[in-house]
Structure 1
């Protein structure tokens, strides 16, 4: 029996066992570092960070970042809305005598939308004007009666004065004096009656004037005109149809300018000012538009705790429609921020989003951050020191307080 092949097979089995099963021990025997030291991320787990800190330094890759001034923006979703919209309704009852205008028609300010039948309203106006003329003619007569009554009163007072003096001198009887007093009282009553008649005549003029105004208003209500320029959103009332008071004649909307309507969360409302520039991306290939903030509500919606915000956008070609969905970005005060790789973001034990950085003493520290903007080159965040060595590789294998061996990002590239 040959013993050499048996010994060779045994030696090969031992070597394979040491290479596969006891590889760390074998590497230690031949003086090489374990694979975990060359690639700590492959072996080190987060829960082993504290134990690892007491044995050896963990290798990480850091990138030195400096804060930059950027224009921050508040992002919200909203929709477009017509700047003005009105439903034109009839103020009187009558039959439509004008041809209807079709939806989509461009309407000019003051253009006739619906014309109603006059009926007997023109006759009512003529009658009201006749009654006004009659009432006005009564005034001079009433004024003349007042003047006549005043003259008679003056004469009666003169006679009364004369009778009183004659009675004092004994040349007139008491009966004559009493008759003079009665004449004065009758003249005063006549003056009062004439003045009442004058007031009644003037009241008649006012009543007749009001009747004329009502008749004229009735005629004016027969023509329903557009209060502003815009687009007709619905057909106007059909020819021959009866419009009751309050019935719809047509609806007009104004789309130039058009409004962007959104709701700001209470955490962002203080970052936006009236007059701030805004940009919106419209859904369904509507393109981008630019406008300015014109209104921010001072009262929050009781259910969502958000604040209504309106933005005016020019729309001369009327390409923007009412009710389109829009993603709105409103510019706000600039901020100092760092541009970091998205992959470098991590969570601490409390679930707070942040970044792990290396201090000058090579100790790991954690900073909570706030995302300002997401770009193709990375994420702009705030919350870091002005200059920071951010861990971009290996941040998941270390915790705060662990000493590490940092490698600059530029060296690894």
Structure 2
């Protein structure tokens, strides 16, 4: 019985030694070790891009307003007799846009003209009598005063006739008409709104950080919501910032002789402040490093990955322009989220 027990213990020890020797052999085997510790090489899609020289821009949201607008007002009182132009029509400077009833103004003009003629004769006669010593200087001065008053009345009568023909002060669009036929106007009443849309002003507000980079005459590119584009140059930069937003007003003139752009619309204003080399990429290729910095991952000829922090230069509808990359670089366009800088990958050209 004792001998069989010793035999069982001996066999168990032999089995344990055999198992341990197999495990140690497997650890010492270099092929097995490589299988345990090696990581599969990742395949990533790559894209070769090159830098281009582009405009460095400050982008702000703004609007387009007419270069000039004016509310035309009546300068005399009367009833509206004629309306030669309809609302929305184009008018030329000095076109009559509203004509008032003359009433008795023509008679008043003739009366004033006659009075001037009469007092001119009186002054001439007074001078002759004064030269002969038959009339005093005081009587001549009285005649001259009467003539001056008559001439003032004549001027006023002519102005009254001129005021009944209300004219456009400049060429533009009759945007609003506040009167109708038969309307009675008093002096100072609004008649019409005329806007000059041949030149538009692009108006926007820039931050105080960007205001120092602006200069008179700088190019402004305007993009409307409907896709229309136009260009102009800065004509005004405010020297006083807004007390609440600390932003500065900037204006640029946009030629609109053909009237293809409407006033009063929202617009994106791109103010060109210089030139810069940048790469055009899709936002989908952006990545973050361990510290949360935005950048792009690249691959060199040996398949080694690298991370480049980037700065945004400007945005487009189909991508973004960034700086901070080498002039020519192979970037990871797909799979960048699964590899880290310093790792080796298998680059596959993007389809």
Alpha-carbon distance between aligned partners in 2 of 1:251 and 1:119, rounded to the nearest angstrom: 26
Gapped runs of 5+ residues in structure 1? 1-24, 41-59, 150-189, 399-403
- The count of aligned residue pairs is 315
Superposition deviation, residue 276 in structure 1: 4.0
CA contact (8 A) 2:122 2:143 kept: yes
Paired position in structure 2 for 1:30: 32
Contact 2:224 2:267 (C-alpha < 8 Å) held by counterparts? yes
Contact 1:91–1:221 (CA<8 Å) still a contact in 2? yes
| 1:373-412 alignment runs, 5 A limit | 373-375=314-316, 379-382=320-323, 405=342, 407=344, 411=347
Instruction: Tell me, in whole angstroms, the C-alpha distance in 2 between the residues paired with 1:234 and 1:139.
Output: 51
1:8-407 matches, within 5 Å, as: 30-32=32-34, 38=40, 68-99=52-83, 101-149=85-133, 194-235=136-177, 237-283=179-225, 286-299=226-239, 300-304=241-245, 305-316=247-258, 318-339=259-280, 342=283, 343-346=285-288, 369-375=310-316, 379-382=320-323, 405=342, 407=344
In structure 2, C-alpha distance between the alignment counterparts of 1:291 and 1:381, rounded to whole Å: 24
2: CA distance between counterparts of 1:271 and 1:99?
50
Please, what TM-score do these two structures have when normalized by structure 2? 0.70
CA shift digits 1:145-180 (9 cap, x unpaired): 44344xxxxxxxxxxxxxxxxxxxxxxxxxxxxxxx
Q: 8 Å contact 2:41–2:346 — kept in the other structure?
A: no
Report what 1:45 is aligned to. Answer: none
Which shifted more, 67-76 or 107-116? 67-76
- Contact kept, 8 Å, 1:128 with 1:212, in 2: the verdict is yes
Deviation of 1:411 after TM superposition, in Å, equals 4.5
CA RMSD in angstroms comes to 4.3
Structure with the greater alpha carbon radius of gyration: 1
Alpha-carbon deviation of 1:238? 1.6
Shift of 1:334: 0.5
Tell me by how many angstroms 1:295 deviates. 2.0
* Alpha-carbon distance between aligned partners in 2 of 1:141 and 1:224, rounded to the nearest angstrom: 41
Q: Cα gap change, 1:28/1:137 in structure 2, threshold over 3 Å: closer, same or farther?
A: farther
Higher strand share: 2
Alpha-carbon separation, structure 1, partners of 2:212 and 2:198: 29
Distance 2:187 2:253 in 1: 36
**Cα distance, 1:126 vs structure 2:** 2.3
Structure that is richer in helix per residue: 1
Q: Secondary structure at the match of 2:264?
A: coil
Distance 1:375 1:124, change over 3 A: closer
**Would you say the 8 A contact 2:308–2:324 is kept in 1?**
no
